Amino acid sequence: MQFSVSNAELTQKIAEKLAKALHAGDVILLDGDLGAGKTTFTKGLARGLG
């Protein structure tokens, strides 16, 4: 899957929703330049995982 978003809030919301669909052993690869939003995505993912 690939997503293009325009702001940090939307990035985190997508990550939170994705977290609910994950299962033990799933792997997510985040790739991008400095400032691409990897940390922002990870914060949303962590929030979604509780």
Q: Tens digit of pLDDT for each residue in 1-50?
A: 777 888 999 999 999 999 999 999 999 999 999 999 999 999 999 999 99
Q: Does residue 3 sit within a domain?
A: no
Dihedral sign from CA coordinates of 33, 4, 28, 15 = positive
- Total domains in the chain come to 1
Q: How far apart are CA 12 and CA 25, in angstroms?
A: 21
Q: Does residue 18 sit within a domain?
A: yes
Q: Is 13 helix (H, G, I), strand (E, B) or coil?
A: helix
Q: How far apart are CA 44 and CA 14, in angstroms?
A: 8
Q: Which pLDDT belongs to residue 5? A: 87
Q: Does residue 2 sit within a domain?
A: no
Expressed as residue numbers, the domain containing 13 is: 8-49
Q: Which pLDDT belongs to residue 2? A: 77
Q: Which pLDDT belongs to residue 15? A: 95
Q: Which pLDDT belongs to residue 19? A: 96
Q: Which pLDDT belongs to residue 34? A: 95
